[in-house]
């Protein structure tokens, strides 16, 4: 089956006066039809830049400097701007973090929806308005016919995000990229928006790339999860396996930092020492090695590939069965469930 989205060896560069910064470095992943792929990592990991590269909206002077992006088998990373504009919106829908950046405050909601619909579909004005009303009803906005005449400021934050979801789905896209769609919302509203997005995309058969820093949202929503660190893949696999049995030291650190309702209230949360490296100061070898408890000489000299690691794939030399780490490192890693302690299995990305 052809993936809805296939990203291969993506490299995004940002030229500066001091040299070229590599924001995304050799990133590969697929999203299957109807699948929700969560993309997670600390601020600066490259999540939003990856989404912007896919839809052709990188901020200048950022550029796609290598690799391929294919939508349903068709390469789209080298399309001219005019052709890419028709792909964006029609075949790829985008949901941004702040709905106010997606909605024009000077135009009524109905006008913005119908303009989007008419840009991508051959419909009469009346038919486009009818479809806009159906979209508002589908995303759970009450009195949809009347709300078409309202302005964005007359909606609450949660309702504005529902309108943005309706905009993203207006042309029946194959892929929806949701960039932190719930960050600015109350917790109860977050749950509603995530459930709505998941249900509607499942009903329509659309694939979703969900960008977030919230592992709770990922665990509730995604089928698979891709963990990024410093613009590189750290781990990818089924969400249940990544959450329950993380196989990259960075992923393990992320999971350990999540508070548990069943835990000791006096117990301190685990933390990953240090911070994400600046783009101009990414260390040689594995980018995570200065913060890793299991780093050894090879980690500081060579960049790891993504090795099979149980049900997932992890870019960590602890999982290199052909060249295993030193016994003392392997022993410590094995104690916490890391390393080649299970039978490796080939896992499609």
Contacts of 234 (CB under 8 A, 6+ apart): 41, 227, 228, 248, 250, 251, 288, 314, 315, 316
Q: Is 37 exposed, middle or buried (0-12, 13-18, 19+ CB in 10 A)?
A: buried
Instruction: Round to whole Å and give the CA distance between 178 and 192.
Output: 15
Place of tokens 């099979």: 308
pLDDT at position 271: 82
pLDDT at position 75: 96
Domains of the chain: 5-222 (3.40.50.300), 240-335 (no CATH)
Instruction: Round to whole Å and give the CA distance between 65 and 334.
Output: 39
pLDDT at position 347: 45
Q: What does the buried/exposed string (b/e) look like for 323-344 if buried means 16 or more CB atoms within 10 Å of the residue's CB?
A: eebeeebbeebeeeebbbeeee
Instruction: Round to whole Å and give the CA distance between 103 and 75.
Output: 29
- Tokens describing residue 275: 């911070």
pLDDT at position 341: 52
- Mean pLDDT per 10-residue section of the chain, whose length is 349 residues: 96 94 96 96 93 94 96 95 91 88 92 94 94 95 96 93 93 94 83 88 92 87 96 97 95 84 70 90 96 96 95 96 94 91 45
Q: Of 144, 154, 34, which Cα lies nearest the Cα of 99?
A: 154
Q: Is 110 exposed, middle or buried (0-12, 13-18, 19+ CB in 10 A)?
A: buried
Q: Of 216, 252, 223, 217, which Cα lies nearest the Cα of 239?
A: 223
Q: Of 215, 278, 342, which Cα lies nearest the Cα of 14?
A: 278
Instruction: Round to whole Å and give the CA distance between 129 and 148.
Output: 9
DSSP 64-130: EEEEEEEETTEE-TT--HHHHHHHHHHTEEEE-SSHHHHS-TTS-HHHHHHHHHHHHS---HHHHHH
- Tokens describing residue 29: 């992943």
- Strand partners for 235: 227, 314
pLDDT at position 344: 41
Reply yes or no: is the peptide bond before residue 61 cis, omega within 30 of 0.
yes
Backbone angles phi, psi at 300, to 5 degrees: -90, -5
Instruction: Round to whole Å and give the CA distance between 236 and 38.
Output: 10
Instruction: Round to whole Å and give the CA distance between 225 and 39.
Output: 6
């Amino acid at each position: 089956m052809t993936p809805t989205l296939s990203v291969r060896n993506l490299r995004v560069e940002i030229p500066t006066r001091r040299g070229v910064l590599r924001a995304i470095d050799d990133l590969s992943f697929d999203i299957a039809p109807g699948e929700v792929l969560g993309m997670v990592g600390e601020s600066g990991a490259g999540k939003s830049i990856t989404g912007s590269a896919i839809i052709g909206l990188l901020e200048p002077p950022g550029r796609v400097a290598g690799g391929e992006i294919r939508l349903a088998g068709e390469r789209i990373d080298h399309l001219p701007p005019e052709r890419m504009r028709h792909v964006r919106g029609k075949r790829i829908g985008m949901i941004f973090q702040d709905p106010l950046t997606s909605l024009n405050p000077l135009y009524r909601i109905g006008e913005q929806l119908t303009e989007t619909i008419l840009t991508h579909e051959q419909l009469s004005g009346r038919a486009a308005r009818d479809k806009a009303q159906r979209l508002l009803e589908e995303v759970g906005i009450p009195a949809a016919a009347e709300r078409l005449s309202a302005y964005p400021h007359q909606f609450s934050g949660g309702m504005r995000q529902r309108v943005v979801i309706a905009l993203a789905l207006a042309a029946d896209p194959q892929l929806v990229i949701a960039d932190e769609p719930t960050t600015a919302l109350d917790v109860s509203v977050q749950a509603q928006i995530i459930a709505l997005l998941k249900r509607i995309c499942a009903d329509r058969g659309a694939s979703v790339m969900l960008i977030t820093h919230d592992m709770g949202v990922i665990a509730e929503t995604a089928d698979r999860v891709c963990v990024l660190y410093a613009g590189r893949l750290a781990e990818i696999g089924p969400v249940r396996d990544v959450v329950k049995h993380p196989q990259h030291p960075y992923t393990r650190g992320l999971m350990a930092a999540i508070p548990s309702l069943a835990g000791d209230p006096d117990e301190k949360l685990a933390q990953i020492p240090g911070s994400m490296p600046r783009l101009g100061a990414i260390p040689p070898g594995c980018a995570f090695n200065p913060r890793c408890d299991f780093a050894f000489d090879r980690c500081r000299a060579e960049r790891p590939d993504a090795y099979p690691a149980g049900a997932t794939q992890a870019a960590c030399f602890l999982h290199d069965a052909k060249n295993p780490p030193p016994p003392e490192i392997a022993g410590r890693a094995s104690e916490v469930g890391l390393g080649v302690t299970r039978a490796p299995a080939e896992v499609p990305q």
